[in-house]
Structure 1
């Protein structure tokens, strides 16, 4: 089988120091990486260095606060047959690129998620199945788990995920309407791959270290994060199986049951408020964005068709020597 070409796409916003650290790690482990595309929504353009790996830098300040739109902008420039997305606050370990391409070749997968380590004690031990959508509508993670062999998953993590060019073309790119923290935009695209009949695989040898950078607006796990998290999860389930989804109903019930497990009256009331507002927020969004039956995996509209044209362009189907 001929070698696959690999494009790495990184979206960033006001984190030039973290971006350069990410690029330095790629430059230190350049094997199999054919090009890097950076989409920077910062107010002021920067001059990142990639250590000799061909770099396309796209300055798009109009995309500030819209991570998935930045991902789609990057898809207009990539040329590889495999397209990997990295967060700007990760660093790849040696052998990341070869392990990624080997995983695609060996498994025939349409999408992959690599091992993403957060430096947390015990995270390499995970007793549940990795990356599964459960019958109660919740998700398992475990993307830092140490496994000997690749395994099939339902969804992945945006910090270290990759797709074939063909499947991204068929999907029409990412759905760009998961607002706020953009939580679940990565889950969404993996579930859409599954809707098409495609396969997603966890690759334990394609490893990155994830050291979350500070958010430009708000903080991780603050009230805003929790509200948008519930809103976006509601929309995700409603789209995947439609409004009649049993998973959606089970998940809603589970959210209220979780309130009862909180100790202390004040904390319980705070949790109840976040759940109620988040679910109402999600229900309102789902009325506009979902339907009774599952939403088709393939995006429609001018933006999606523009992406399809770019991804199917034979002049952009291979990295220039």
Structure 2
């Protein structure tokens, strides 16, 4: 990645999209083509193809013919999302590097909002929100609870980790330059949580641009309680593993006790809220996440999310 000094008047930005056999990639690229690009900004788009064979190359080359920005296809096999994310980091040369998923579309002000926050705050990473778009068949409770949208979590006023479904990284940052996604997490997910947690622990700062929206249509296969439960459990596992790696055994026992208490509280609250699905089910899901934290602290093997035979097995929003 570029080590040049940041030039706010004419920054270059690489927008990176990791993909695996998804037709929705074309919608993502169309939305990038329609971006409101800030004056003086130079864009390049990198598509990292995570398939065994370069299955996305032909469609990327077709789109490139009329695309308003430089469009690059990088083959990054195979079926390990960390490999694709690292290929983006290796190919990037801009002052900034943005990540967005191949099943998302960016809003026109997206990039400008991320860049403005990066320049105003000097942060090493800037997160934006992801708005879930539900199909007509999605359960009502899920819509009301907005269970699939993504926002950063603050701990005592700080953002301590992040996600790759909507983020801008400062290329010259010493906390970004040379950092890579953990290959061992490239099939289970949680590689982005791990990446940003390590960035924060090393002294990096993470900011938030609330107007930098991207949108994601929730497919029928994800609009299920069972899918959300698996995701929450895996999220908890990742958090538990990070806690375990950074604590001595006595402290780990404290974390285990707290996770158990939090899980019990969530399940008890869900029982009291039984008639109200939009409040009951999120409470159950939070309890499942804390059970996942316990599993992570105990070192249980993480659920495999990537590496399936079809895009339905891939998870763009692992956190």
Task: Measure how far apart 1:30 and its partner are.
Answer: 5.6
Matched, 1:251 2:259: yes
Task: Measure how far apart 1:52 and its partner are.
Answer: 2.6
Within the candidate set 193, 204, 220, 2:199 is matched to: 193
Within the candidate set 43, 50, 66, 1:41 is matched to: 50
CA pair 257-180 structure 1, distance change in 2 beyond 3 A: farther
**Partner SS state of residue 221, structure 1:** helix
Within the candidate set 95, 120, 132, 2:154 is matched to: 132
CA pair 180-258 structure 1, distance change in 2 beyond 3 A: farther
Structure 1 length-normalised TM: 0.66
Q: What residue is the counterpart of 1:82 in the other structure?
A: 96
Structure 2 length-normalised TM: 0.67
CA pair 240-23 structure 1, distance change in 2 beyond 3 A: farther
Structure-1 separation of matches of 2:248 and 2:126: 26
- Check conservation: 2:233, 2:292, Cα contact below 8 A: yes
Structure-2 separation of matches of 1:33 and 1:97: 12
Alignment of 1:94-243 (within 5 A): 94-119=108-133, 131-133=153-155, 153-167=159-173, 169-170=176-177, 172-178=179-185, 180-182=187-189, 184-213=190-219, 221=227, 224-241=230-247, 243=249
Matched, 1:59 2:67: no
5+ residue gaps, structure 1, are 135-150, 287-321
Task: Measure how far apart 1:92 and its partner are.
Answer: 0.9
Alignment of 1:8-19 (within 5 A): 8-15=15-22, 17-19=23-25
- Check conservation: 1:133, 1:155, Cα contact below 8 A: no
- Check conservation: 1:38, 1:56, Cα contact below 8 A: yes
**Partner SS state of residue 10, structure 2:** coil
Q: What residue is the counterpart of 1:310 in the other structure?
A: none
Task: Measure how far apart 1:98 and its partner are.
Answer: 2.0
Report the count of equivalent residues: 259
Q: CA RMSD in A?
A: 3.8
- Check conservation: 2:259, 2:291, Cα contact below 8 A: no
Matched, 1:3 2:10: yes
- Check conservation: 1:33, 1:97, Cα contact below 8 A: no
**Partner SS state of residue 91, structure 2:** coil
Structure-2 separation of matches of 1:242 and 1:212: 40
CA pair 9-248 structure 1, distance change in 2 beyond 3 A: farther
